[in-house]
Amino acid sequence: MKYTHLGRTGLQVSRLCLGTMNFGPQTSEPDSFAIMDKALEQGINFFDTANVYGFELGQGITEGIIGRWLAQGNGRREGIVLATKLYGKMGTGVNDAKLSAYHIRRACEESLRRLQTDHIDLYQMHHIDRETPWEEIWQAMEQLVREGKVLYVGSSNFAAWNIAQANGIAQSRHFMGLVSEQSIYSLRNRHIELEVIPACRALGVGVLPWSPLGGGILAGVLDKPATGRRASERMQESIEKLRPQIEQYEKFCQELGHAPADVALAWTLHNPVITAPIIGPRTMEQLEQNIASLDIELSPDALKRLDEIWPGPGNQAPEAYAW
């Protein structure tokens, strides 16, 4: 396994982050346990979840599965960097969502209980809350850090100016602020190259791409049966819309001698701002395939060809659209 620092911190995490969104809804608890055991055995020490995963209001099903896995002991908790998220609705009350100090405190306590641990290594805001001032958010996060319940704070789905504003205010409070940003990013979706990636590079914020396989589009869809999520109407519409690009991409991956999913992950890893793409295996087979991406080195010519198939903005802002 390869490791890197999480943004500007001294914390070292694996170059792949185990995403757990499928644990519960798609993957049974025994299979989830087996996948987590295998990931840890293979050196993946970075696990990501969220309080809303499991998608039954207020239940925190996925966090509960992870908590029961951790409770088995044998160095499991000590062996991982545990990340979770808050923001989403966790109850029917008016304060059961978003980033008020009231909700931050309560959400953290509930996640700690479900995860059966005394601290969260990386506590991430799942979305920007435009109605809560940063002074309130940082005061609540600072308190959790002082109490030892949270070590680092991260964001997810933030715009570049949100990240800059948050860290500017944190610096004025002599607080470390955001150390990571979890954004949608893949060959299929390259919007963050305009501003988020440059901002993170300048501020020492690690980037954790979610959906690095483009919602499955980059996982090799043309020769596989349309089952499960691949059979959905939305996925079929996406495949037809993008078919010319997908055909070129899958043909090029054949020429490279690698599975499309592995090439997609290797592409995200070539960018030095990327800390770790978040993989979300539903099965052991998918986990083992994802790990293979770490051994792929993409040549400049291969990267150029991928840019031709899946063009990005071409540069950061404003050069991407102005002189």
Which pLDDT score is estimated for 323? 87
Angle value at C-alpha 171, between 170 and 173, nearest 5 degrees: 65
Closest CA to 124 of 192, 63, 15, 51: 51
Contact 266, 296 (CB under 8 A): yes
Q: Which residues are known to be catalytic? A: 53
d(Cα 305, Cα 255) in Å, to the nearest integer?
A: 12
The C-alpha angle with vertex 283 and arms to 79 and 7, in degrees rounded to 5, equals 40
Task: Output the tens digit of pLDDT for each of the chain's 323 residues.
Answer: 999 999 999 999 999 999 999 999 999 999 999 999 999 999 999 999 999 999 999 999 999 999 999 999 999 999 999 999 999 999 999 999 999 999 999 999 999 999 999 999 999 999 999 999 999 999 999 999 999 999 999 999 999 999 999 999 999 999 999 999 999 999 999 999 999 999 999 999 999 999 999 999 999 999 876 666 666 788 889 899 999 999 999 999 999 999 999 999 999 999 999 999 999 999 999 999 999 999 999 999 999 999 999 999 999 999 999 98
Phi and psi dihedrals of 222, rounded to 5? Answer: -75, -30
pLDDT at site 229 = 63
Task: Kindly state the tokens that stand for 92.
Answer: 């029917």
Q: Output the pLDDT for position 35.
A: 98
Give the pLDDT score at 45.
98
Q: What pLDDT shows up at residue 228?
A: 60
Class of domain 3-215+259-299: alpha beta
Tallying the residues shown for the chain, one arrives at 323
| pLDDT confidence of residue 226 | 61
**pTM, to two decimals:** 0.96
Question: What does DSSP say about strands 12-14 and 3-5: parallel, antiparallel, or unpaired?
Answer: antiparallel
User: 3-state DSSP helix/strand/coil percent for the chain, to nearest 5?
Assistant: 45, 15, 40
Across the chain, the runs of DSSP E, i.e. the strands, are 3-5, 12-14, 17-19, 46-48, 81-86, 120-125, 150-156, 178-184, 206-210, 278-279
Full DSSP string of 69-116: HHTT-TTTTTT-EEEEEE-S--SSSTTSSSS-HHHHHHHHHHHHHHHT
Neighbouring residues of 56: CB distance < 8 A, sequence distance ≥ 6: none
pLDDT at residue number 227: 60
